Amino acid sequence: MDSSNDIINGLIRHFDAMGWPLHMNRNKLLSRYSMTSNEELPGWDIVEIERHRPILGTSYTRGLGMDAFETYYVRYAVHVQTLEVKEFPERRGNVDIDISGIVSNELNFENFSLSVEPIDQNRYTIIENVSNYQQVISRITEAQSFCELLLESRVDYFNDTLNRELADLQLDEKQIEQLISDYSETMKKALLEKADNAWRSRDTEE
């Protein structure tokens, strides 16, 4: 009994009897597994199943791709004759981070809403309605400056998030610096666009 089908069917029977891992089913197992041998375990094959978990404060929504995730592999040793199953420690894989996706999500209507409301003929209040942070302004450049202040806090928060997950993500210093730079540049461009749009669509006093 040495075919890959026997090994996988043995693993499926094991999961049916003992319970399937969280968010895994037969179809995911069959589409995401790979198999190797291990010289330290003669007579056993190692089955690795590719999985993904969200990172950097992102979350998983069924049917949608994640903006930031880590690939990892759950691992099981299966005896080629008895089909006995032993669980192995997971193996870490690559980290994938879509900065544009993260920024877009952080500035969606649930997380960020900018408006400019009139005070009198020459003054306006610019408001970020989710946080209720606001400021009196009179021209578009001040709306842009308001958003640049918001940029500082968002970059700081992103930096803090990276530092919290740094050990787990196994990123080097150069990668961290590049991520922060990309985030800052992308977020600044998006915030300034929000400021321009809010100014152009402002209510005006007659």
- Quick: pLDDT tens for 68-93: 899 999 999 999 999 999 999 999 88
Query: pTM score, two decimals?
Result: 0.78
User: What is the C-alpha separation between 104 and 201, in angstroms, rounded?
Assistant: 21
Domain boundaries, the chain: 4-96, 102-200
Give the integer Cα–Cα distance in Å for 75 and 90: 6
pLDDT tens track for 10-20: 999 999 999 99
Cα 152–Cα 69–Cα 86 angle in degrees, nearest 5: 145
Kindly report the number of other CB atoms within 10 A of residue 202's CB atom: 17
Average pLDDT over residues 11-31: 93
Query: For the chain, what is the mean pLDDT?
Result: 89
Region of 180 on the Ramachandran plot (φ > 0 left; ψ -120 to 50 alpha; else beta): alpha
The Cα–Cα gap between 173 and 37 comes to: 35
pLDDT band at 2 (very low <50, low <70, confident <90, very high): very low
Please name the residues in contact with 197: beta carbons below 8 A apart, sequence gap of 6 or more. 114
Q: How confident is the model at residue 63 (pLDDT cuts 50, 70, 90)?
A: low
Question: Which amino acid is it at 184?
Answer: S
